Amino acid sequence: MTVRVILDQHAEDAAFLWLLRDLAAGEPHYRLADLAKLDGRVEAQLDGLRVAAEPGWEIARQAMADIGEPGEVFAAGVLAFESGVPERVQQVIEVGTATPEASRGLISALGWLPYPQASKTIKTLLAAESTVGLRAGLAAMSAHRRNPGPPALFKAFASDDPLLKARALRAVGEVGLIDFQITARATTKGKDPACRFWAAWSSALLSAQRNAVTSLQDIAEAGGTFAERAAQMAMRRLAPKDAKTWLIRLVKELGQKRIALIAAGAFADPEAIPFLIDQMKVPKLARVAGESFSLITGADIAYEDLDGEKPEGFETGPTENPEDENVAMDPDLDLPWPDPALIQKWWNARQGNFARGTRYLLGQPITPESIRQALKTGFQRQRAAAALELAILKPGRPLFEVRAPGWRQQAML
């Protein structure tokens, strides 16, 4: 096998593994150890390109130029930014800011590297004239949980580009920029859905601001892209009595049972467990109900043999029928199917360990210590919930980044 063929394979595998890794970071069946292992595989392919020096760069650059997908931009970006060679860096920036999709690879490469190594390129992007470049710079700074500074933020807030403005509003919450709460709060009634959501999300994360929470409830009730995230944040900021009332409204008045099940997990009170178990009998809701049950109780449905078989005849997501217009992926694809009878038996034996009126995360009352343990051992979506709980407990503290390279997270924990 020639060197060229080997390097081509490294570049192809690095891009493919990045794609797997990008998906895994938000999957319900990946833990931090699994993510770190996958990150090691990505690094192994990058190492194959690194040791080849100039030929390795040229292969990665050519793949980026020919394909232009985020995975190829990521691989070339890591090599370029590590090298510090201005021509290489510029080539990656040009491709990585050509489209919002390509910028995902650019941002990921900058987030992958240690901040001192990535900072020069990030600052270049923060000073960029293009809105795509500035947005990438803001996102990269946020990935490192660093303050991008007032000049970049004010420029983004004043922009007519909704993607740029939304990214800045999101950074306010992720980085814990309390000084920008008023700016975010003023955008909660804006016209653009993404800007409205991220403004409300950041405002609610930084403080229990009533208007922000109400805006999140409205977004959740309306459905759409941000509905589930909106419900999760709103529920964490509502007073217990108001949270219960809203759950009832979602189910009985609006028929938003899926949103209600997700909100119940964020509610985190064992009072919601009977509702969750009951909804496990409904095929299209069973798995998401099981996920919320696990988030509260800590039960591992698959590991503890509390799962059952997929209901006969149940289909969701794309099928092999070319006339089927449903092309959306099953959002619960990697969740286990809970067996309601087994779950009820498990709960009957353990419900005495849970007190109504107390919020739980993975079977433990929510405290800084239990949150830290969840960040170490939970599945990725459970870890994301734990990160939100920690940020709410400590306003102004950057949101723990559960999508960061595994080795970096392990060192922080």
State the Cα–Cα distance between residues 92 and 153, nearest whole angstrom: 24
Say how many Å lie between the first and final Cα of the chain, rounded.
42
pLDDT band of 316, cuts 50, 70, 90: confident
Beta carbons within 10 angstroms of residue 202's beta carbon: 31
Judged against a pLDDT cut of 60, whether residue 319 lies above it is answered with no
Q: Please tell me the predicted confidence (pLDDT) of residue 191.
A: 86
Alpha-carbon Rg of the chain, whole angstroms?
22
- Which DSSP string do the residues of 84-118 spell out, in sequence order? T-HHHHHHHHHHHTSSHHHHHHHHHHHHHS-HHHH
- Which DSSP string do the residues of 272-337 spell out, in sequence order? GHHHHHHHTTSHHHHHHHHHHHHHHH---TTTTT-B-PPPTT---S--S-TT-------TTTTS--
pLDDT band of 372, cuts 50, 70, 90: very high
Residues 136/107, Cβ–Cβ less than 8 Å: yes
pLDDT band of 208, cuts 50, 70, 90: confident
Residues 288/314, Cβ–Cβ less than 8 Å: no
Sequence letter at residue 119 = S
CB within 8 A of 33, min separation 6: which ones?
406
Tokens 């016209």 found at: 191
Q: Pairing relation of β-strands 364-365 and 360-361?
A: antiparallel
Judged against a pLDDT cut of 90, whether residue 103 lies above it is answered with yes
Of 370 and 2, the structure prediction assigns the larger pLDDT to 370
Beta carbons within 10 angstroms of residue 116's beta carbon: 7
Is the pTM here over 0.85, yes or no? Answer: yes
3-class secondary-structure state, position 365: strand
Residues 408/111, Cβ–Cβ less than 8 Å: no
pLDDT band of 315, cuts 50, 70, 90: confident
The arithmetic mean of pLDDT across residues 187-193, rounded, is 84
